[in-house]
Structure 1
Amino acid sequence: MAGSVGVYISVPFCKAKCTFCNFASGVFGPERMQQYVDRLCGEIRGAHAAAEKISASLPRVVDTIYFGGGTPSLLSGEQFAEIFRSLRGEFGLESGAEITLECAPGQLAEETLEELLRQGMNRISFGVQSFVDRESAAVGRLHTREQCEAEISRVRRAGVGEINLDLIAGLPHQTAQSWRYSVEQAIASGVPHVSVYLLEVDDESRLGREMLKQGSRYGAGDVASEDEASEWYQRACELLGEAGIEQYEISNFAREGHASRHNLKYWRRHSYIGFGLDAHSMLPAGEDAVRFANTSDLDRYLLQGTVSSSFPLLPMERGGDDEEVDRVGRSDAFEESLFLGLRLNEGIDLGVLRREFGERLLLEAMPALNEVRDAGLLEVESDRIRLTAQGRVVSNEVFSRLLIPAAA
């Protein structure tokens, strides 16, 4: 939406760390969490001053807010109230703004839920991963199927109708039958949105290290093959589609009118700003755009709050390559439009690309696009291109092929 921005807020705290995860998150005590909230609020309050220093345009109106993590629901109601006071002091919240909370089943206190509802939270994303207790426990999840179902019912009774369930294909001990069971349970729950991911195991995670040494801890010997997980993903696409939960992005499925407005900003290259640990942003800057990210080191992030009340820090104040402000020029923006737009099932209107970027860049990309089309991974309909079902399964391969001309 013109003149508005999406806000992502990173809350990097967990009750327990998943065995496959090596994200910038961890288990910390209440004092550390409050210190983080204080730093986060200071960053939010300095947002426009920081954007001005890097010549970026930061809209004053917010139309989506997404609390991700970690497990944001571990914060108290008062801590969320502090965050919203800072947000409302720096931005205007659009009436009907989409406000999403990521949550682990069983880890949302009643007083926290009540405060979030007072603040306008209207969407919850539950990290279910599996409705089979053995599979959830194998990767360090603390909930059971019964808890998942109870939580869905609880937030519905509280008035939250926009509910997403995350599922992961390829977990330890998972089989084709147990995967189908999880997908069918998600459908039976009646939620309007489901996200389906293929298991990605970080080499530095507990499960990753165990798999590399071919051990058996954490179910490392019972992780599905990539081919099996891909088959299960495709079966989920079929089952969800048959149930009216249509795929609209590689990993996301929704009933009509229930797609995630915040996540669509990423794929359509709309403005968003991230606050907190390892949070990423993209804002317009004149004819171009800028991308920047906060540090993924918690101690460093907290220490920076004692030096500057605004973020991002200017390049000369930064000390790591992960924190540089990158200007996205015309060719980079074209490239991003290709691989982000192709994540969406609607694909890309080539006429729009021509009008925005001109004919030359599109002509340069055509040999790679034709190669992907000839491999059966891309389809062309009139002036619109989109990935095929198989193309979505191997999307990373498709995108790497499309990046070759720009790299050369």
Structure 2
Amino acid sequence: MKQLERGYSALMAGPVGVYISVPFCKAKCTFCNFASDAFGTERMQHYVDRLCVEIRGAHAAAERIGASLPSAVDTLYFGGGTPSLLSAQQFREIFQHLRGEFDLDTDAEITLECAPGQLADGTLDELLRQGMNRISFGVQSFVDRETTAVGRLHTRQQCYAEIARVTAAGVRDINVDLIAGLPHQTAQSWQYSVEQAIASGAPHISVYLLEVDEDSRLGREMLEQGSRYSASAVPDEDQAAEWYQHACDMLREAGVQQYEISNFARPGYPSRHNLKYWKRQPYIGFGLDAHSMLLAGPDAVRFANTSDLERYLGQGSAAKPLRLFESEQDATNGQVDVVGPGEAFEESLFLGLRLNEGVDLGILQSQFGESLLEQTMPALIEVRDAGLLELDTGRIRLTPRGRLISNEVFSRLLDPTAA
């Protein structure tokens, strides 16, 4: 048990990462079914009020479930939705409550997700005053026909202009999101988008394969073989996979190195916040559908807020107490999952394999003991023999082919009967 406690302590020690969910959009992408939508100004302010109450009660809530919540914060991530739609005053309120509950490091990485053309000058100025130093642009494509088809409101020219504007304002750490497999996309148009992302000078680029939720507008149309949302123009999965691999090659040649299945960075620019997820370091999420993982003795605990906006906002005045894990005003789903040694081992395996550096088997053994690793070794060898995994010098990592079908690899490792 002491060996496991030492393993967990080493794994989870250090400052916490904070994620803040802002579920507002000017328009919802056709393929998306996240807990986000277009809302009025009054609803947005009510949400911010609730968010601030939740932040203010964070340490008390963690204590109620026996979890350890560090006060030091070294990464802060505003995700959504489109967080940039909040006003300067609303961000000021959020930061005031964050600094009242946590100690935000002077060199903390502070990221804002942003849709091109949806960041007001006043909001940008306020965020810079608050220490924001990283922006992630949801570009998705530099081809207007493709972004229009999925309901995005920006143009290629707006993307160029926005990157130039925030760079001139002093933001050097910029990410550009691209999606392979959008409606009307071709091999040529995909190559163009990747070329433009590289030419933008952004030090971080994320490349995702299109995932269409069955309950989204595009998902329902694809099932029904309709035509309103360009379902018939969605490339097949094999094409998108080829384009993803081509992007990997192009980015590598341009000096933007892959460090995770979907993420590429120039030296010194990986996302510190997202690395917390993959390395199982502590983080706490606030807002709609936000997830958390904290240390609780020798174990870890995971919990998530409700994805129901009405439940999150509650009834009546925003000043009504919101006490997590305790009352009808509970913002969470009311469930705390304890992550014991077996589950922690599995998480360390499949989250670590998302990283190009892979998993150090010696560290895994020191943290969790020999038996769990021995039980998994036959599946590791089988996946290696299938050309999906490299296993050498005490370290395992996915091959390029393995990254393309990573979910299948993880299923084989966690459930040998899935092979």
Band of TM-score, shorter chain: over 0.9
Three-state SS of the structure 1 residue aligned to 2:230 is helix
Structure 1 partner of 2:127: 116
| TM superposition shift of 1:220 | 0.4
Three-state SS of the structure 2 residue aligned to 1:81 is helix
Structure 2 partner of 1:139: 150
- 5+ residue gaps in structure 2? 1-11
1:16 corresponds, among 27, 30, 37, to 27
For 1:206-285, list aligned pairs within 5 A: 206-285=217-296
| TM superposition shift of 1:216 | 1.4
Query: Partners of 1:345 and 1:201 in 2: how far apart?
Result: 26
| TM superposition shift of 1:319 | 9.0
Deviations 1:233-261 (A, max 9, x none): 00000000000000000000000110000
1:310 corresponds, among 323, 326, 329, to 323
Asked if residue 403 in structure 1 is aligned to residue 414 in structure 2, the reply is: yes
User: CA 1:369/1:320 → structure 2, altered by over 3 Å: closer, same or farther?
Assistant: farther
| TM superposition shift of 1:3 | 2.9
For 1:6-405, list aligned pairs within 5 A: 6-303=17-314, 308-311=321-324, 313-314=325-326, 322-405=333-416
Amino acid at match of 1:310: R
Amino acid at match of 2:192: Y
| TM superposition shift of 1:308 | 3.8
- The question of whether the paired residues in 2 share the 8 Å contact of 1:13 and 1:71 is answered with yes
- The question of whether the paired residues in 1 share the 8 Å contact of 2:305 and 2:331 is answered with no
User: CA 1:118/1:258 → structure 2, altered by over 3 Å: closer, same or farther?
Assistant: same
Query: Partners of 1:306 and 1:391 in 2: how far apart?
Result: 50
Three-state SS of the structure 2 residue aligned to 1:217 is coil
| TM superposition shift of 1:381 | 2.0
- The question of whether the paired residues in 2 share the 8 Å contact of 1:272 and 1:283 is answered with yes
Query: Partners of 1:145 and 1:77 in 2: how far apart?
Result: 26
Query: Partners of 2:331 and 2:345 in 1: how far apart?
Result: 27
Runs of 4+ in 1 over 4 A off after TM superposition: 304-307, 316-323
Query: Partners of 2:62 and 2:217 in 1: how far apart?
Result: 38
Amino acid at match of 2:323: S
Query: Partners of 1:319 and 1:284 in 2: how far apart?
Result: 21
- The question of whether the paired residues in 1 share the 8 Å contact of 2:276 and 2:282 is answered with yes
Structure 1 partner of 2:5: none
User: CA 1:115/1:306 → structure 2, altered by over 3 Å: closer, same or farther?
Assistant: closer
Query: Partners of 2:193 and 2:323 in 1: how far apart?
Result: 44
| TM superposition shift of 1:391 | 0.3
Amino acid at match of 2:126: E
TM-score by length of 2: 0.94
> How many pairs align?
406
Amino acid at match of 1:95: T
Deviations 1:25-65 (A, max 9, x none): 00000000000000000000000000000000000000000
Query: Partners of 2:173 and 2:398 in 1: how far apart?
Result: 28
Deviations 1:58-109 (A, max 9, x none): 0000000000000000000000000000000000011110000000000000
- The question of whether the paired residues in 2 share the 8 Å contact of 1:246 and 1:253 is answered with yes
Three-state SS of the structure 1 residue aligned to 2:167 is helix
Query: Partners of 2:14 and 2:194 in 1: how far apart?
Result: 38
- The question of whether the paired residues in 1 share the 8 Å contact of 2:21 and 2:287 is answered with yes
- The question of whether the paired residues in 2 share the 8 Å contact of 1:44 and 1:310 is answered with no
Query: Partners of 1:3 and 1:259 in 2: how far apart?
Result: 19
Query: Partners of 1:267 and 1:240 in 2: how far apart?
Result: 22
Deviations 1:111-152 (A, max 9, x none): 000000000000000000000000000000000000000000
Amino acid at match of 1:349: D
User: CA 1:320/1:226 → structure 2, altered by over 3 Å: closer, same or farther?
Assistant: farther
- The question of whether the paired residues in 2 share the 8 Å contact of 1:364 and 1:405 is answered with no
User: CA 1:306/1:128 → structure 2, altered by over 3 Å: closer, same or farther?
Assistant: same
User: CA 1:106/1:2 → structure 2, altered by over 3 Å: closer, same or farther?
Assistant: same
The percent of aligned pairs where both chains have the same amino acid is 75
